[in-house]
Structure 1
């Protein structure tokens, strides 16, 4: 179940099916036919990091993004641009990619940026955000 609140030209997306957002941001915002999804880390509903490192955290983050995008009327296949943040680029880049690639069709990969950062919320190994289209 999702709910959208219109504010000016944008709509706030919230679904109880996804990991609840902190009070300082929305799960996603819809504006001018695009969904701007907030960063997602690999956590449980209780906000505990998924055990096992970057691969299960990547899977959980993408599954959560898929849930948010679905609530907004879209899906992972409509991602135009993804931004990925890794707390340890040299250790986790290949391992993250091994999971990431399984969520997309080979000939339909979104544009992407992946950067190394000093730290992520809750000590996460990976955070993923995206911009997606709403299909007509």
Structure 2
């Protein structure tokens, strides 16, 4: 099996000595967890979970593009949120990007906390 790592400056740098933004292997792109960081400052953007979800999806889109894929090729999404009271707001943004009959499979779980005290993290798997 051959694999290659993906790093792009169009998405936040994810501690490159610990993990890459994504790994491509066997025709799949495995994106590491993304949080709502601004790529130019590597700081969490201001705003609520809707703003954070938009930023994360923009970051994931940039990573997938660097790998030769796109949001349309996502087959599995895992979402981690710190408060299920935000579930409907998350979904309001989610359906702007993922709709129709070609939806990826999805898991959403509540967790105690996330890096940088943020409220949401998303990881995914896409095809090339």
1:81 aligned partner: 76
Q: Are 2:108 and 1:117 aligned? A: no
Structure 1: gaps (5+ residues): 1-7
Give the superposed CA RMSD.
1.1
Q: Are 2:6 and 1:13 aligned? A: yes
Structure 2: gaps (5+ residues): none
Residues 56, 122 of structure 2: 8 Å contact kept: yes
1:26 aligned partner: 20
TM-score normalized with structure 2 length: 0.94
Name the structure where strand makes up a greater proportion of residues: 1
CA distance in 1, matches of 2:117, 2:68: 31
TM-score normalized with structure 1 length: 0.89
Q: Are 2:34 and 1:53 aligned? A: no
Over 4 Å off, 4+ runs: none
115, 122, 126: which one aligns with 2:120: 126
